[in-house]
């Protein structure tokens, strides 16, 4: 019985670490974090993060830089984060999705950033969410807060 449970545990952990990341499922329009009717200036930083079930959302802007330049800076910050890799997209495309895995078990979290132009102003929507489970214990919000504080410091 012990070995059967151990085999199930090891098999489950292997599946979590080795399951393929499907860009068609995760590299999608995150939808606006804030309704366009409520747009105000939202500077990059920890205060622009909204916790949602299973993840976190943020919208920053209006930005003075082009959307491609701002998304490029965010991509540099994201790629410097441990255990993070780009799943799909580019600053030129206007949307990027990154996968960040937890240190111990390798649980994947997906973060998508997309440039939006609203009334001639440039914004970036971000949506960080988990793949497995229902709660992320605040890790996605913490990651977004870190990325946005570093983006605001640039």
Q: What's the rounded mean pLDDT across residues 30-56? A: 69
Q: What does DSSP assign to residue 117?
A: E
Q: Specify the higher pLDDT residue, 33 or 63.
A: 63
Backbone φ and ψ for 32, nearest 5 degrees, come out as -65, 135
For range 57-78, the mean pLDDT: 91
pLDDT of residue 153: 61
Q: Which domains does the chain have, with CATH numbers?
A: 21-153 (3.30.310.80)
Lowest-pLDDT choice from 57-61, 69-73, 83-87, 143-147:
57-61
User: Which positions ≥6 away from 136 have C-beta within 8 Å?
Assistant: 54, 55, 109, 129, 130
- Residue 67 has phi, psi (to 5 degrees) of -60, -40
CA distance 135 to 129: 10
Cα 122 to Cα 131: distance, rounded to the nearest angstrom: 29
> Residue 4: enclosing H or E segment and its boundaries?
helix 2-18
pLDDT above 90 as % of the chain: 47
Average pLDDT over residues 117-140: 89
* pLDDT surpasses 70 at 46: no
Q: How would residue 51 be classed by pLDDT, with cut points 50, 70 and 90?
A: confident
Q: How confident is the model at residue 34 (pLDDT cuts 50, 70, 90)?
A: low
């Amino acid at each position: 019985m012990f070995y059967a449970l151990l085999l199930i545990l090891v098999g489950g952990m292997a599946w979590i670490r080795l399951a393929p990341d499907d860009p068609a499922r995760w590299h999608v329009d995150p939808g606006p974090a804030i309704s366009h009717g409520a747009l105000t200036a939202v500077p990059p930083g920890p205060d622009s993060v909204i916790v949602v079930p299973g993840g976190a959302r943020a919208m920053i802007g209006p930005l003075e830089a082009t959307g491609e330049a701002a998304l490029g800076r965010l991509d540099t910050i994201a790629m410097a984060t441990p255990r993070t890799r780009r799943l799909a997209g580019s600053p030129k495309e206007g949307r990027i999705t990154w996968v960040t895995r937890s240190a111990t078990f390798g649980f994947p979290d997906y973060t998508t950033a997309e440039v939006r132009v609203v009334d001639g102003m440039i914004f970036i929507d971000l949506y960080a969410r988990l793949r497995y489970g229902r709660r992320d214990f605040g890790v996605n919000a913490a990651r977004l807060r870190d990325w946005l504080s570093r983006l605001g410091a640039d």
